[in-house]
Amino acid sequence: MKKLLVCCLCGLLLVGCGKSNADNTSELESSEETNQVQESVESEPEESEETTEAESEIAEYPLDLDISGCDTFTQIVDTVLEPGMGYTNETIGDTDALLVCTFAYDNMDGNMAAIDSAIYVYNDGVPECIGNVSSIGTAYPLAVKDGYLYVGIYHGTAKYTIEDNELIEVESSWIEYDDEGNEEFYYHEVAGEETKSESSDAVDTIQSEYDEATILNFDVIQ
């Protein structure tokens, strides 16, 4: 009888130990899963930081490049521009110019377009920056037509040329809205004052020119 009781007690102890080991194993696995989830959550900010660092690589507008020692546009492109920047050569007015953008994007029409540019010309045989232009967004890429540079502005369009190595806004037109949402049309030309009109003719005219203009295609530095 005593032997039988001893055997029963040993059996119960073995069952209890087995249950305890199983519980410990379950708790260990649960702890490992919790740690894995925590590690996954903690690793997410690192990806966000990497994305932020990548975005910060885009050059700041307006460009202020140090082109000292550069005698040609080619030298600017080869020695000064950084990866991600874009450039193109264009005749504005009667002047050959180098346009450099902070970044270019696929305009889905075969062009690497840009919304901003620093403009360089030759002054006494040496490259010189004469100004910067910037459109309001990627829906309004820089474009040229008949020697004029077109830039999208807020609810309107601006038109530029180069004369005597100076960047000049020839004219611009835009729409403003009053408190009741009514349209007010404005027009401005070089050496003139801003004028208000009841007609949208000036706005429509410059906008039509922009619509027919050729979007600038920039080569991107790799």
- Span 146-197, pLDDT tens digits: 999 999 999 999 999 999 999 999 999 999 999 999 999 999 998 777 788 8
E strand spans, the chain: 86-92, 95-101, 105-106, 112-113, 116-123, 126-134, 143-145, 148-153, 156-163, 166-177, 183-189, 195-197, 214-215, 219-220
CA distance 185 to 195: 8
pLDDT computed for residue 192 by the predictor? 75
pLDDT computed for residue 198 by the predictor? 80
Q: Of all residues in the chain, what percent carry a pLDDT higher than 90?
A: 64
Torsion of the alpha carbons at 78, 79, 85 and 87, rounded to the nearest 10 = -40
Q: What share of the chain is helix, strand, coil (3-state, %, to 5)?
A: 35, 35, 30
CA distance 102 to 134: 10
CA 66 to chain CA centroid, Å, is 22
Q: State yes or no: pLDDT of 3 exceeds 50.
A: no
pLDDT computed for residue 45 by the predictor? 45
Instruction: Find the mean pLDDT for residues 99-103.
Output: 98
Report the chain's C-alpha Rg in angstroms.
33
What pLDDT, in 10s, does the model give residues 43-94? 444 444 444 444 446 667 788 899 999 999 999 999 999 999 999 999 999 9
Q: How many CB atoms lie within 10 A of CB 165?
A: 14
CA distance 22 to 30: 12
pLDDT computed for residue 7 by the predictor? 43
Tell me how far CA of residue 38 lies from CA of 27, 33, 179, 197, in angstroms.
16, 9, 52, 63
CA distance 136 to 70: 31
pTM of the model: 0.72
Tokens standing for residue 186: 């404005």
What pLDDT, in 10s, does the model give residues 5-56? 444 434 444 444 444 444 444 444 445 554 554 444 444 444 444 444 444 4
Torsion of the alpha carbons at 79, 80, 81 and 87, rounded to the nearest 10 = -90
pLDDT computed for residue 41 by the predictor? 41
